[in-house]
Structure 1
Amino acid sequence: ALALVERACDAIAARDWDVAPARLHGDLWSGNLIFTPAPGGGVRGVMIDPAAHGGHPYTDLGMLALFDAPLLDEIFGGYGAPEDIWEQLPLHQLHPLAVHAQTHGPAYAQPLTRAAQATLELLR
């Protein structure tokens, strides 16, 4: 599994990314997203507990999808995410999955391996 993750990281590093860094929340999982009633009806998302930094614009979306945030389609639509965002998400989930594999144990090894394989397929 480690060799596969390393190959995925090498493929990411070898790519010429023509994307301007975006300000990221940095820890945007469903527990850091609170929904409150919006004026006039509906709901409004409020982000809490940021670990702000710069990175790829879709990294926060990857975190939200990884930890099953509610209303993902609405969030992605409001963000202006591309139609193929679901295919791109494993690339943006590699880092949090690797961190969780290290800090929370082997239960994250299989999702990390799947994300690494999907990343390699995406970057071919």
Structure 2
Amino acid sequence: MGKKEKSGGFTLVEVLLATLIIAVAVVPLMDVFSRSTRWMVESRKAMTALNLAQMVLEETSSVEYGELDGLAMTETAAFEEFPEYRYQLAVEDYPEGGGKKLVKRLKVTVYDGDTMKELVSLETDRGDWQ
């Protein structure tokens, strides 16, 4: 009887060790992919909210100065085309107006419609320069 020939292939220990190494490398990568997807969704929401806030402020530019106070909102409202977002518009006399009410500050805040978490807030000033 001669020597036994080694058969080709991997031993169970080698297979288990390779599986362990792959698992240790893949699990953190999956976490990175998961986080990057979440960040991408959040940044898309923030960009949409920023564009919607800018749209609201641009729509106020066609309103006469004396009618700006009528735009102020005490509660949030939904966007027609983006119901998953809500917004609120505040109109205040400029705090540093020196007693003259020639400047108003308009502030639009956009919220996530589900959580009511504030996503973005933009301000602009409008003057009554005649």
Instruction: Please report the TM-score for the alignment, with normalisation by the length of structure 2.
Output: 0.22
Structure with the larger strand share: 2
Structure with the larger helix share: 1
Higher Rg of the two aligned structures: 2
Instruction: Please report the TM-score for the alignment, with normalisation by the length of structure 1.
Output: 0.22
Higher relative contact order (CA 8 A, sep 6+): 1
